[in-house]
């Protein structure tokens, strides 16, 4: 009986350890996505500028989305955006203009919200491909490599931003009845600003990448 009790206790202890390790692994995996989800929400809630030519506001969302794509894997990046959208769908005022709830998903900005998922995934996937290729072609550390990394990050960010705009323009046209050409024309001013944000995010993330790798070297 004593031996059986000891075996049961050992089995229970092992099961508990496995469960704790799994919980720790999940928590570790979610740590960065959760942090960047909060940052995305705060960047949106910080303020939005509305222009009379379009119902889509100017925010810092695209800057944070580029950072998410450049610092997380595509899976973690998508998880971060999905958590952000889930918070908004649940009614929390994390969308532009302190809005929340399902109504936003049938409004003029719905296409952009959906596009966030695919834009971040595109940026993260391209960034990974570029990193692997760059490290293979230029294994040594150099100023040239730093500049090339910045350029590849900028390309990944711009392509991700284009993906977001593709969804956004189509969604705005579909939900408002506005012709695609008109919807695209009203968003040109946003595109210019978001290109600048893409370069800012690329400079920050490529610099962070080099700084972290310098410490590890």
The predicted pLDDT at position 136 comes to 92
The predicted pLDDT at position 56 comes to 63
The answer to whether 67 and 204 have CB atoms below 8 angstroms apart is yes
Q: Give the range of the structural domain holding residue 144, as residue numbers without chain letter.
A: 2-215
> Is this prediction's pTM over 0.95?
no
The predicted pLDDT at position 25 comes to 65
Nearest to 65, CA basis, from 174, 147, 211, 168: 168
Q: Is 214 exposed, middle or buried (0-12, 13-18, 19+ CB in 10 A)?
A: exposed
Which two three-digit tokens encode residue 35?
């942090």
User: Which CATH number fits the domain that encloses residue 165?
Assistant: 1.10.1760.20
The predicted pLDDT at position 6 comes to 56
The predicted pLDDT at position 131 comes to 94
d(CA 214, CA 92): 40
Write out the DSSP string of 83-111: HHHHHHHTT-S-BTTTB-SGGGGGSTTHH
Which residue stretches of the chain have pLDDT < 50?
A: 217
Number of folded domains that form the chain = 1
């Amino acid at each position: 009986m004593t031996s059986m009790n000891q075996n049961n206790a050992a089995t229970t202890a092992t099961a508990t350890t496995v469960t704790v390790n799994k919980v720790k692994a999940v928590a570790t995996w979610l740590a960065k996505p959760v942090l960047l989800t909060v940052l995305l929400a705060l960047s949106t809630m910080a303020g939005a500028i509305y222009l009379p030519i379009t119902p889509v506001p100017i925010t810092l969302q695209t800057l944070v989305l580029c950072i998410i794509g450049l610092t997380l894997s595509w899976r973690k990046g998508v998880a971060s955006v999905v958590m952000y959208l889930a918070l908004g769908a649940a009614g929390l005022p994390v969308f532009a203009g302190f809005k929340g709830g399902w109504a936003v998903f049938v409004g003029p900005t719905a296409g952009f919200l959906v596009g966030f998922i695919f834009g971040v995934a595109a940026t993260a996937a391209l960034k990974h491909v570029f990193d692997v290729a760059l490290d293979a072609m230029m294994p040594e550390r150099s100023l040239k490599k730093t500049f090339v990394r910045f350029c590849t990050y900028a390309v990944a960010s711009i392509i991700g931003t284009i993906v977001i705009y593709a969804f956004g323009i189509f969604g705005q046209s579909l939900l408002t009845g506005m012709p695609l050409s008109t919807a695209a024309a009203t968003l040109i001013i946003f595109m210019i600003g978001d290109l600048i944000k893409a370069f800012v995010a690329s400079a920050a993330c490529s610099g962070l990448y080099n700084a972290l790798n310098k410490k590890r070297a």
